[in-house]
Structure formats: structure tokens, C-alpha cells
């Protein structure tokens, strides 16, 4: 089976049912398109400032149209086609059209600068680029430099002179499936690593890996056709995409919400009758803070059908989940661990039945195996810390054009994740930290995640990141960058007193009150913090003795 088979099945069996909904609460749509703009597109939706939807039949037809457009331009099996779009109703039909043509989809981070777009396009050998109005100012300066990119399709109004009107051209293409035979071993997509530990690497996946992700997601969260998934994170990332794969395999509706304000999330859950919501840690915190502050009232919304809240993409503070359960006691909760190299989330997951193990990332997921090993490759014993390894059908094929980096992380079929972990007596895996983030101070290993989890227990702290800073005597010291809740005052002395319950060697030696930067998938951007504070001026810093 290939991933496009599932879309074609849904179109055949459930064609008139809603597949996707796009909600744009901000109504900032001056440059947005609607399907009515192009009358040749079948079943055009009326112009709407807030909501658009797409049936499974039209989803599949539009994917076919885009596939046939690519083939009409001479693109061949294995050609790389980049997607540079914000979440929108066009995103997934374009993605599936690329796959149906036998090409390789290359989703790009919507935060990329011009230089990063150019770098990633060159690294992945991209020959065609699909982009939206939000990226014109970044694409224009590099058009002439991207020599390999010979085709540029624009999704929106006011088409730049160096691009072509994608949806208008699609309207002239056949809506029938293209005559391209696909196999599960065929290359399907290149995703880029998040770059939190360096410049992005190109991660190559085949169709088998994508199908594995569908099966794993449904096995973990039991999606049926009656579920409605609220998708907020960016679709370019494996996390959002592979969680949506649970909707694909179950032929259930998904809602793409363009915005993260708490009232928008609750309104979308109410109006679309969402049953499953995947949140990132900052969004869950913001929603709870808004409830506590009285900025939103739960009585204004209908949330009884909301059955599951799950979080992934970064370590989840146990205190956050305890707080969430106190507000939403009827919710099932799950956390998912994964990497882009393992086709996103689910190679390890907690399981909704294991709420008493909050704090763990869980056990090996459906179709997956996991180990925690020492430097010699032996399984750790007891409560020892080692590197987490995973093995399963969703492991990447390779880092594209980077055999050295591939050999470092793929050994005998096992993916070396670079994450440090321990296993408790019940077999549950607890994430300790990134291998590269471990702080060695005076010969002792400090794991920043443990210190961050402790500090988040403070009711004054909104977010925190712990990094190592150079120290002449100890080698490194732990520095805590603390983002306070809105309107809250706190001093370094208060933080020092709060940390007295930590072992002395784990207490942060430096406190910095500042904003904690996170990427679009919620991961703390620690390289940004190291660059800012290891050589530059510190903001409101104090050294704690």
C-alpha cells in the first residue's frame, strides 16, 4: 500500500463527506484565494472570510489535477517539488498531487529566511517550488540564484512575474488519477530536521514509512469516522502531518485552524465539534492561563465531545498535565515522542491508559521497538541514563546526500536519536535530555529538562530554558532563562529560594529573565539562547551562590 491509496479509497467510499476545513479567525485574507476565483475548479465554494471546507472527492480530484499539471510540465518520477505555504486548504491536495505524480514532496518551514530557503532547495535538489503570498518577499531575492528550480507555482492572487498561477493552471488539468504506478518502497518525501541542534538536514522517507505513521497514529488514538481532529501546528512538520494521518486512515474530518489564541481554539472545538486536539506546551499553558485569568469562560463553549488532548514535539512538564486534568477531568491524555527521522510522532508513546505515568514518554509505539543504551551500545541497567534508540518501518531511508551523517545515526536498522533517557521498573521510558544539551559542571552531568521541570512548578513561571554557560572553574554552569507569566513580578532571590529543594549541584547558578524562544513545533531554540548569552550582554542576570 502507498499513502495515496488511502485518499483514493476515501474519495470512492465517502466522497461527499467533509475531509478538511480551514478556519481563519483573524480574517486577514486580502491575499488569500478561494476556489471560486477559478471557475474551472469543480464545486467552487462561495467566498467566505472565515471558513472553507473540502470534501474527500474534491480533495482527491484536486490532488489529481496538480499531479497532472506536474506531469504536463515534464516532471518525472523522483523530481523534488518544494511546498512553501502556510496552513491552508490547498496544502494537502498539493502534497498528495506531488506524490501521485511519483515526485518527492519537500515541505519547507514557513519561518525560513531567504538564505535558508535557498540552502534547503539546493540541498534537496528541488526543481519546482509551490509558494504563497506570505513568501514573496523572501523568494524574490533568490529567484535568480536557485538555478535548479525551473518551475515556480504561486498559490494566491497578485502572482509575481517570475511565477505561474497554480490554481488557474490546475483548472485546465484532468481530475482523473494520473497513470503513475507507485510502490511502498518508492521515495515519497523529504522533511528537514528542526535545526535546533544545527543547520537542517534533509530526511528522506518512502511510502512505507508514511503508511506506518497512519497505522501507528490510529492504533494509539483510535480514530473513527466520527472523530474530528483540530490541527493547529504547521503542516510542513512531520508532527502535524502524521497526526492528521489518523484522520486520513479513518476517513474523518480535520480542521486546520490558522491561529493559536485560546478563544479561537475553544471556538473551533465548539463550532466544528472537535473530538481530538493536539497542542504544543505553550498553547496548553496559554489556554489554562486564560481560563485562570477569566479571559475565557468555559461556560461560553460546548466542549463535551472533546475526548482527547495530546501533546508532543517537546518534553511535557508533569505539572502542566496535572493542571490540565484539574480543569478538564474528562479528557483522555497522551503524549507522543518522535523525530522527523522516525516519520514524526509515535515511535514511543505514553498511552491514554497510563495517566499515572505522566512524566514518561511511554513505551515503544505500535510497530516500533526501543532500547536505551550506554556508550558501548549495551542496554542500561536499573535507573541508569543512556541514549534512546528506536527501530521500526517508519525509520528514514537516509539523510539525503549525507552518507556520513546517516552512518552516525543509523546502525543495524536502529536509529540513534541523540536523546538521553532512562527506563523505570515498569518499562516506561523517561526522557532526560538531548545528548548535546547535557551540561557538565565540575565533573557532574546536569540534565536541563530535569531542572526545567522543577522550575515550572512555580506559579510565577510561564516558560523556562536551562543552558550551559562557560565557567573558568567548573567548565560550565547551569543558567536558567525564565519567562514570567504576564503581569507577574519575581526576583532572582525568589527563584533562589524556590530552588533550595533541588540538590545543590543542580541549582542554576545564573538567572536570566527573558523570553524563551520556541520554534513553530514548540521546541526550545537553545542554540539561539547559547548564541545570545555565551558571548553577548546578559539581560537582568544575577549569579546565585
Kindly report, residue by residue over 119-154, the tens digit of the pLDDT.
999 999 999 999 999 999 999 999 999 999 999 999
- Please give the pLDDT value at position 213: 95
Rounded CA-CA distance 218/248 in Å is 10
Mean pLDDT confidence for 509-517: 91
- Grade residue 315 by pLDDT with cuts at 50, 70 and 90: low
- Grade residue 27 by pLDDT with cuts at 50, 70 and 90: low
Q: Which residue has the higher pLDDT, 40 or 480?
A: 480
- Within 350-484, strands assigned E span 363-364, 369-373, 386-391, 398-399, 410-411, 414-423, 429-434, 439-441, 444-446, 461-471, 475-484
C-alpha cell at 186: 518508492
- β-sheet bridge partners, residue 416: 389
Rounded CA-CA distance 238/453 in Å is 25
- Please give the pLDDT value at position 148: 95
Rounded CA-CA distance 423/437 in Å is 20
- How is 233-285 classified by DSSP, letter by letter? S-TTSHHHHHHHHHHHHHT-EEEEES---HHHHHHHHHHHT--EEEE-HHHHH
- Please give the pLDDT value at position 541: 37
- Grade residue 34 by pLDDT with cuts at 50, 70 and 90: very low
Kindly report, residue by residue over 219-234, the tens digit of the pLDDT.
999 999 999 999 998 9
- Please give the pLDDT value at position 194: 67
- CATH topology classification for 50-208: Rossmann fold (3.40.50)
* pLDDT-wise least confident of 171-175, 302-306, 327-331, 483-487: 483-487
Rounded CA-CA distance 165/66 in Å is 12
Is residue 442 over pLDDT 80?
Answer: no
Mean pLDDT confidence for 188-213: 85
CA angle at 494 for the pair 493 and 499, rounded to the nearest 5°: 95
Kindly report, residue by residue over 4-26, the tens digit of the pLDDT.
999 999 999 999 999 999 999 87
Indicate the average pLDDT of the chain.
88
- Please give the pLDDT value at position 221: 95
- Please give the pLDDT value at position 168: 95
Q: Which helix (H) or strand (E) covers residue 511, if one does?
A: strand 510-513
Kindly report, residue by residue over 36-90, the tens digit of the pLDDT.
333 333 333 334 448 999 999 999 999 999 999 999 999 999 999 999 999 999 9
If you ran DSSP here, which 8-state letter would residue 416 be given? E
Is residue 419 over pLDDT 90?
Answer: no
- Grade residue 31 by pLDDT with cuts at 50, 70 and 90: very low
The dihedrals phi and psi of 123, each to the nearest 5 degrees, come to: -60, -40
Is residue 520 over pLDDT 80?
Answer: no
- Please give the pLDDT value at position 247: 97
Is residue 198 over pLDDT 90?
Answer: no
Is residue 436 over pLDDT 80?
Answer: no
CB distance 346 to 366 below 8 Å: yes
Kindly report, residue by residue over 275-293, the tens digit of the pLDDT.
999 998 878 988 999 999 9
- Grade residue 314 by pLDDT with cuts at 50, 70 and 90: low
Query: With the CA atoms of 20, 26, 28 and 29 taken in that order, what torsion angle do they form, in degrees rounded to the nearest 10?
Result: 20
Instruction: Output the CA–CA distances (angstroms, integers) from residue 342 to 203, 368, 485, in the order listed.
Output: 9, 10, 35
Indicate the pTM of the whole model. Answer: 0.82
Rounded CA-CA distance 48/89 in Å is 13
- Please give the pLDDT value at position 46: 35
The dihedrals phi and psi of 12, each to the nearest 5 degrees, come to: -75, -45
CB distance 441 to 505 below 8 Å: yes
Residue 189 three-state SS: strand
Is residue 197 over pLDDT 50?
Answer: no
- Grade residue 391 by pLDDT with cuts at 50, 70 and 90: very high
- Grade residue 449 by pLDDT with cuts at 50, 70 and 90: confident
CA angle at 6 for the pair 228 and 239, rounded to the nearest 5°: 55
Q: Which residue has the higher pLDDT, 446 or 264?
A: 264
The dihedrals phi and psi of 270, each to the nearest 5 degrees, come to: -70, -50
Rounded CA-CA distance 270/176 in Å is 36
Is residue 503 over pLDDT 80?
Answer: no
Is residue 434 over pLDDT 60?
Answer: yes
- CATH topology classification for 438-543: GMP Synthetase; Chain A, domain 3 (3.30.300)
Mean pLDDT confidence for 243-266: 95
- Please give the pLDDT value at position 531: 81
- Grade residue 472 by pLDDT with cuts at 50, 70 and 90: low
Dihedral angle sign, alpha carbons of residues 515, 27, 291, 278 = negative
- Please give the pLDDT value at position 30: 42
C-alpha cell at 113: 529566511
- Grade residue 501 by pLDDT with cuts at 50, 70 and 90: confident
Residue for grid cell 490541527:
231
* pLDDT-wise least confident of 99-108, 112-121, 259-268, 517-526: 517-526
Per domain, the residue ranges of the chain are: 50-208, 438-543
User: Helix count (H) and strand count (E) of the chain?
Assistant: 15, 28
Amino acid at each position: 500500500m502507498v499513502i495515496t491509496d488511502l485518499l483514493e479509497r476515501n474519495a470512492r467510499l465517502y466522497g461527499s463527506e467533509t475531509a478538511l476545513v480551514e478556519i481563519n479567525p483573524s480574517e486577514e485574507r486580502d491575499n488569500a484565494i478561494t476556489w471560486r476565483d477559478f471557475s474551472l475548479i469543480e464545486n467552487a465554494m462561495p467566498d467566505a472570510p472565515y471558513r472553507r471546507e473540502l470534501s474527500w472527492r474534491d480533495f482527491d480530484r484536486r490532488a489529481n489535477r496538480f499531479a497532472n499539471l506536474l506531469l504536463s510540465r515534464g516532471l518525472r518520477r523522483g523530481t523534488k517539488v518544494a511546498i512553501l505555504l502556510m496552513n491552508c486548504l490547498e496544502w494537502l491536495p498539493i502534497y498528495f498531487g506531488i506524490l501521485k505524480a511519483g515526485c518527492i514532496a519537500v515541505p519547507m518551514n514557513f519561518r525560513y529566511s531567504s538564505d535558508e530557503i535557498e540552502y534547503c532547495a539546493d540541498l534537496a535538489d528541488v526543481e519546482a517550488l509551490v509558494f504563497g503570498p506570505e513568501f514573496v518577499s523572501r523568494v524574490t531575492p533568490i529567484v535568480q540564484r536557485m538555478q535548479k528550480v525551473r518551475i515556480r507555482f504561486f498559490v494566491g492572487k497578485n502572482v509575481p512575474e517570475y511565477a505561474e498561477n497554480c490554481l488557474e493552471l490546475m483548472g485546465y488539468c484532468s481530475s482523473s488519477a494520473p497513470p503513475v504506478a507507485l510502490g511502498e518502497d518508492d521515495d515519497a518525501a523529504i522533511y528537514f530536521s528542526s535545526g535546533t541542534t544545527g543547520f537542517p538536514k534533509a530526511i528522506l522517507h518512502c511510502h512505507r514509512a508514511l503508511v506506518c505513521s497512519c497505522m501507528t497514529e490510529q492504533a494509539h488514538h483510535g480514530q473513527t469516522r466520527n472523530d474530528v481532529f483540530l490541527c493547529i501546528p504547521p503542516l510542513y512538520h512531520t508532527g502535524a502531518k502524521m497526526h492528521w494521518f489518523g484522520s486520513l486512515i479513518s476517513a474523518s474530518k480535520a480542521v486546520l485552524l490558522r491561529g493559536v489564541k485560546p478563544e479561537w481554539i475553544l471556538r473551533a472545538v465548539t463550532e466544528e465539534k472537535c473530538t481530538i486536539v493536539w497542542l504544543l506546551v505553550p498553547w496548553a499553558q496559554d489556554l489554562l492561563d486564560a481560563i485562570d485569568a477569566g479571559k475565557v469562560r468555559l461556560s461560553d463553549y460546548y466542549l463535551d465531545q472533546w475526548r482527547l488532548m495530546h501533546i508532543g514535539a517537546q518534553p511535557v512538564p508533569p505539572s502542566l498535565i496535572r493542571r490540565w486534568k484539574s480543569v478538564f477531568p474528562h479528557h483522555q491524555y497522551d503524549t507522543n515522542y518522535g523525530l522527523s527521522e522516525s516519520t514524526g510522532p509515535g515511535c514511543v508513546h505514553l498511552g491514554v491508559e497510563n495517566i499515572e505515568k505522566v512524566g514518561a514518554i511511554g513505551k515503544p509505539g505500535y510497530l516500533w521497538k526501543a532500547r536505551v543504551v550506554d556508550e558501548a551500545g549495551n542496554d542500561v541497567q536499573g535507573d541508569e541514563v543512556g541514549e534512546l534508540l528506536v527501530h521500526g518501518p517508519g525509520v528514514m531511508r537516509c539523510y539525503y546526500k549525507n552518507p556520513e551523517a546517516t552512518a552516525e545515526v543509523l546502525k543495524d536498522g536502529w536509529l540513534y536519536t541523540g536523546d538521553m533517557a532512562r527506563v523505570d521498573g515498569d518499562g516506561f521510558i523517561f526522557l532526560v535530555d538531548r545528548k548535546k544539551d547535557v551540561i557538565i559542571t565540575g565533573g557532574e552531568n546536569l540534565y536541563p529538562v530535569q531542572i526545567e521541570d522543577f522550575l515550572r512548578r512555580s506559579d510565577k513561571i510561564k516558560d523556562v530554558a536551562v543552558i550551559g554557560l562557560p565557567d573558568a572553574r567548573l567548565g560550565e554552569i547551569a543558567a536558567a532563562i525564565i519567562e514570567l507569566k504576564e503581569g507577574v513580578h519575581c526576583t532572582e532571590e525568589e527563584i533562589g529560594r524556590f530552588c533550595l529543594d533541588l540538590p545543590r549541584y543542580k541549582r542554576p547558578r545564573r538567572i536570566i529573565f527573558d523570553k524563551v524562544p520556541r520554534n513553530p513545533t514548540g521546541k526550545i531554540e537553545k542554540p539561539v539562547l547559547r548564541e545570545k548569552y555565551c558571548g553577548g550582554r546578559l539581560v537582568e542576570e544575577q549569579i546565585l551562590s
